[in-house]
A and B are shown apart, each in its own frame.
Chain A
Amino acid sequence: MELVDQHIKEIMEGCKERARAVGLRFPDETLEYIVTNRDLLELSPKLMIPTLYDYWVHDVDVLKEKGKYELYPVNPYETVINTRPAISFYNDNNPDWLNVMIFYHVLAHIDFFQNNLFFRHTWDYDFTGQALSDKRLIARLRSEHGRWLDYVIEFVRGIDNLVGYYHDLSHLNHTSEATWSKRVNFYFDVFIQTINKLKIHEYVKEIDRYNDCMKKYEELGEELFFSEVDLKYPEFKEVFRKSLEKKPERKADLIELLIECSQFLNKDENEWMKSVLQVVRNTSLFFQPQIRTKIMNEGWASYWHETLFMQDDRIEGHEVEFARVHAGVTSMPRVGMNPYALGMHLFYYIEELVEKGRYSLEFRRISDARRREKFDAGTGQGRDFIFKIRENYCDFMFINTFLEQDFITRKKLFVAGRRLNKDKKVYEYYIKSRKIEDYRKTVLDSLYHPPNIEIDLDKNKNNTLYLNHHFEERPLVKEFITNTMIGIEYLWGGPVQLETSEFVSASPSTGQSYYSVGLPSAQEAGKEPTGEWQRVLYTMENRKLSRKTI
């Protein structure tokens, strides 16, 4: 692994100038490395972060059949990693024109990493440096604690998809709340909303009254406002005082909770484990935004490598070669979904619509198809708009908001179904639907979505950790429950309970084991689903799992 030579670096610098000129924003400095296959072999289990901590599972063949990206929630091999400065990896025999294309792609990725708000928490530090010190820490702990260190890593990794990513993010993007006093905040946010349950017009009236008081009496305004409140709700003072005594409720994620409250981890001899938990949690948090912006990120990068490459004056004569590679990257497969293509075409489509002013009431009111087709308000704001999208959206919002029937029709997209043809012994793929609702659902269903599991502190009795899996019409993978819960029990130092939903079918189960590879034939016959959802409670105590229906 070595830095690229001056010739290639010069090409990169040229790309940076041109990319800046169209509005992409990224730091001046980047590092480009040439990697060999051998490097890739070593880097890929470490998610291309060369300094990631060592862990034996990285060395073993890992079963990744079912729900693989749910288990490994990262784009495993990115060409560019989100570090300061950003690091990207290249083949050493790329022709110059191809490097130009890849550099634009990489620069757009860097722009995305460093401007999309879902990456906010990664902006202030360099992950490779952080990972290196973590790696040294892990290595030191391994020399001190041997295999127990690996157990702890294993157990924390078992819950590292449940990190409170959005919660952390919301703190970072929070505007300051210091302008109002605690009393005002409590009154408006909690007291009259959740305790007294005022109707909306009454609530608005209170706000008006508050604003009036502040305007008229300035400093004394608040006191006056509350003197009237005291008359109206004599209990307010007491409720407010009590609320101050209560510790501010903070929604900790499972790993944080373990660090703070686990009796086992807080024993002196186990203190070291907490830093392992922290390392795994930070690593997971670092990768969270990447998997939540795959379609956008690749779409954005493809949009720009196409746009910028075509404008580049240095590559004349390589248009055809570019076209071949680019088409390979951004073609829609007959069956399947290519995030590069979907994202890129959607960005172009949105840009065009905004450019023509079609996200407007005026356009939506038109029902005449011909007039709709001709509608063009010439706003000239298309590009600004997609820059805003790259800043504020993630995949879910992007697909949910902008994927629409016109786009599906224009790009000839469809939902493909698969059915068994018994006579020919083949699976047939057929066009199942060309409706936006179905297509959108298919795309959204394919997005990464970890289960929503909350810690229910109210049911947390006798040092029993109670986890509540909110029902989202999918069960958890059953085979994984035992080992995951053994891990949590170990870290918690007490019994662990998990409430979840399971589908109990009325007919004998055809449940297929995770480890059996191959396709079940019995399930394909298109049987009517029979059965019902049940809430069940798993309890892990002394490494024994029991299950009961609630």
Chain B
Amino acid sequence: MDPRLLRYFNTIKERGLEPDREKRILVELEDGRVHERPCESPDVGKARPNRFLRASDNPYEYSDPFVLQAMQVHRGSYTSGLQSIDELLERDNQREKDGFPRKIRVGRLIKPGKGGKGKIVVVPTTVEEKFIHDMSFDPSDDEPVAGGSGEGEEGEIVGEQPVHEEGGPGSGPGEGGGEPHEMESSAYDLGKILSEQFELPNIKDKGKKRFLSRYTYEMTDKNPGVGQFLDKKATLRKIVETNISLGNLPDPGDIDPSRFLISPKDKIYRILSREKAYESQAMVFFLRDYSGSMEGKPTQLVVSQHVLIYSWLLYEYARQVESRFILHDTEATEVPDFYTYYNSKVAGGTRVSSAFRLVNEIVEKENLARDYNIYIFHGTDGDDWDTGGKEALPELKKILAYSNRVGITIAEHTYGASTSTEVERYIKDSGLLERHPDLLRLDVIREDAAETRLIEGIKKLIS
């Protein structure tokens, strides 16, 4: 048992706990599980004995950021890369009308899924055609060769590589985006259906000013002494300043520029700067309680609801919405993508405030409140070790000061149905719902709720 948790447990116990809550907390406290994610494919995790690793024999595949700094260039998913796949296909249709052959290939990738079940994912690809040599062609010798180094006689075998290693069709190198990519793709399709069938209310229709989180690169930053090009106006101003302070400009009415003294630092240059393209936008935080008590139905509900919201945002606001994902038990942690968020297993205790605090920290640190509409969706079973929300409420109040909407979903356990849950109780008691009807929404669902109920829930949260 984590001693820190135990200490925390003792503090809240001193504050007073009902016996059955104490029992529930103790169950979570003694829960030995850890948050893990399911294996992405059945193969992962199994050691591949003596697998022969072959380096590239193409010198152009090596490059500094990877080799020297171990930087990772994540391949962006196409949904974030383009405004939408529809636009892409629309573009392709238009090509045909304009008399040019279609250029976008909608490829189907089969990804090995959980339990050996393959999933088909649709990925648009294209290629830029040029006159190039067919490097794979060699009529005289159909045996590919590569460079190599090390000991051994001519003729000696230095390594072996299974013939069918690459898995399903289309999953060659570079295509191995893995599951997160797939998650986005299917979420995208789902979002499309949602938007069509359920007519979810639009965040856009609220008339909020939206900032897009895209960037453009401009040369607006100023830098004295060095840079890409000279800002003549600013430079001249600086020179005049310098000369005034040097007393080299006795009569402002009669300036002789040829007498100016110019210091190297007087030259003001423009350098590259990253500018936000102000078109629109919002930041959405997804918060999920993944404590031990969330096991089973509540997690499923919360996660499916968040999938729905996420899918819908992805579809409706393609690249205009940024999402952040936070998981919490007694500690909150930010995870990089929806896949991790979706798949991390439940374990540990519950402290809602930790997640709220993390949101506050992120918002403050990155100064998000200024540039973004901030939406927060929190899913929990309503259980919180923090009685009366002593820690959670102050954090929540802070959030309400800058956010555009906080939607809390409580998936109630059936066993706790007689009384309302801890989170529900302290939020209702706090009076925040009445004071900020526009900012804070609470939706309580039973753990046996159906999907339609979830959609209604979303409507309630975002209307």
Interface residues of A (CB under 8 A from B): 1-3, 28-29, 31, 33, 37, 39-42, 44, 50-51, 56-57, 59-67, 69-72, 75-80, 83-85, 87, 89-91, 94, 98, 101-102, 105, 109, 126, 128-129, 132, 147, 151, 154, 157-162, 291, 294-295, 298, 325, 328-329, 332-340, 342, 411-421, 424-434, 438-439, 442-443, 446-451, 453, 469, 472, 474-484, 486-487, 498, 503, 505, 512, 514-515, 517-519, 521, 523-524, 526-527, 529, 531, 543
Interface string of B155-167 (1 = CB under 8 A from A): 1111111111010
A333, B63: Cβ atoms under 8 Å?
no
Contact A476/B132 with A44-B73, A338-B62 known, Cβ cut-off 8 Å: yes
**Contacts A57-B126, A105-B64, A475-B133; is A295 near B59 (CB within 8 Å)?**
yes
Residues of B within 8 A of A66 (CB): 134-136
Q: Is A448 within 8 A of B124, CB to CB? A: no
Q: Which of B43-60 contact A (CB under 8 A)?
A: 52, 54-60
CB distance from A518 to the nearest CB of B (A): 6
Select one of B147, B154, B174, B218 contacting A443, CB under 8 A.
Answer: B147
Does the CB pair A446–B59 fall under 8 Å?
A: yes
Q: Does B78 contact A (CB under 8 A)?
A: yes
- Contact A29 to B225, CB < 8 A, known contacts A61-B78, A80-B64: yes
Determine whether the beta carbon of B131 is less than 8 Å from that of A335. no
Asked if A60 contacts B78 (CB within 8 A), the reply is yes
Sample of 8 more A-B contacts, CB < 8 Å, known A79-B65, A431-B148:
A40-B71, A56-B82, A65-B172, A87-B272, A334-B159, A426-B160, A517-B169, A529-B141
User: Interface-forming stretch among B98-106, B236-244, B249-257, B405-413?
Assistant: B98-106
Contact B124 A60, beta carbon cutoff 8 Å: yes
In the complex, what residues of B have CB within 8 A of residue A336's CB?
A: 54-57, 146-148
Chain A residue at minimum C-beta to C-beta distance from B76: A41
Min distance, Cβ B266 to any Cβ of chain A, angstroms: 15
Q: Across the interface, do B131 and A425 meet the contact criterion of CB distance under 8 Å?
A: no
Most A-side CB within 10 Å, residue of B55, B144, B228: B228
Nearest A-chain residue to B217, judged by Cβ: A50
Residues of B that sit less than 8 Å from A by CB: 52, 54-76, 78, 81-82, 88, 91, 94, 98-101, 103-105, 123-137, 139-164, 166, 169-172, 174-175, 215, 217-219, 223, 225-229, 271-274
Instruction: Indicate if the CB atoms of A91 and B71 lie closer than 8 Å.
Output: yes
- Looking across the interface, which residue of chain A has its beta carbon closest to that of B56? A336
Identify which of A56, A469, A484 gathers the most chain B CB atoms within 10 Å of its CB.
A56
Chain A contacts of B100 at CB under 8 A? 151, 486, 543
Q: What are the residues of chain A within 8 A of B78 when measuring CB–CB?
A: 59-61
Q: Are B146 and A416 in contact (CB under 8 A)?
A: yes
- Cα–Cα, bound, A162→B133 (Å): 12
Q: Evaluate contact between A431 and B158: CB separation under 8 angstroms.
A: yes
Interface contact A339-B62, CB-CB below 8 Å: yes
Check A158–B129 contact: CB distance below 8 A. yes
In the docked arrangement, what's the CA distance between A80 and B64, Å?
A: 8
Contact between A474 and B135, CB atoms less than 8 A apart: yes
CB neighbours (8 Å) of A469 from chain B are 131
A505: which B residues are within 8 A, CB to CB? 139
| Residues A426 and B131 in contact, CB atoms below 8 Å apart | no
Expressed in whole angstroms, the minimum distance between the Cβ of B45 and any Cβ of chain A is 23
- Are B60's CB and A450's CB within 8 A? no
In the complex, which residues of chain A have a beta carbon less than 8 angstroms from the beta carbon of B94? 147
Q: When chains A and B are docked, how far (Å) is the Cα of A64 from the Cα of B135?
A: 13
Question: A431 touching B154 by the CB < 8 A rule?
Answer: yes
Selected from A335, A498, A517, A529, the residue in CB contact (under 8 A) with B54 is: A335
Q: Given known contacts A60-B125, A474-B135, A518-B169, is B142 in contact with A333 (CB within 8 Å)?
A: no
Please tell me if the beta carbons of B218 and A333 are within 8 angstroms of each other in the complex.
no
| B228 contact from A126, A447, A512, Cβ within 8 A | A126
**B219 partner residues in chain A, CB cutoff 8 A:** 51, 128-129, 132
Tell me whether A158 and B130 are in contact in the complex, defined as CB-CB below 8 angstroms, given that A59-B82, A85-B227, A442-B146 are known contacts. yes
Bound together, the chains give a CA A383 to CA B126 distance in angstroms of: 47
- B123/A61 in contact, CB under 8 A: yes
Q: Are A162 and B149 in contact (CB under 8 A)?
A: no
What are 17 contact pairs spanning A and B, CB under 8 A?
A33-B272, A57-B126, A60-B104, A60-B125, A75-B63, A79-B63, A89-B65, A335-B57, A416-B158, A425-B164, A427-B162, A443-B147, A446-B58, A451-B132, A476-B133, A518-B172, A523-B142
Q: List A contacts of B161 (CB < 8 A).
A: 426-427, 429
A531 and B68 CA atoms in complex are apart in Å by 47
- The answer to whether A69 touches B156 (Cβ under 8 A) is no
Please, which residues of chain B bring their CB within 8 A of the CB of A80? Answer: 64
A85 & B160 in contact (Cβ 8 Å cutoff): no
Closest Cβ of chain A to B289, distance in Å, is 28
Smallest Cβ-Cβ distance to B167: which chain A residue? A518
The answer for the CA separation of A366 and B161 in the assembled complex, in Å, is 45
A-side contacts of B129, CB under 8 Å: 158, 479-480, 482-484, 487
Contacts of B169 in A (CB 8 A): 517-518
With a cutoff of 8 Å between Cβ atoms, the chain B residues found around residue A329 in the complex are: 67-68
User: Are A480 and B131 also in contact (CB < 8 A) when A40-B73, A57-B126 are?
Assistant: yes
Residues of B within 8 A of A411 (CB): 149
Taken together as a complex, chains A and B put the C-alpha atoms of A483 and B157 apart, in Å, by 43
Q: Which residue of A lies closest to B272 (CB)?
A: A50
- A377: min CB distance to chain B, Å: 30
Shortest distance from the beta carbon of B54 to any chain A beta carbon, whole Å: 5
Q: Are B274 and A1 in contact (CB under 8 A)?
A: yes
Q: In the complex, are the beta carbons of A526 and B142 less than 8 A apart?
A: yes
Shortest CB-to-CB span from A542 to chain B, Å, is: 9
A442 adjacent to B145 (CB under 8 Å): yes
Closest partner residue, chain A, to B214 (CB atom): A42
B130's partner among A44, A332, A427, A480 (CB-CB below 8 A) is A480
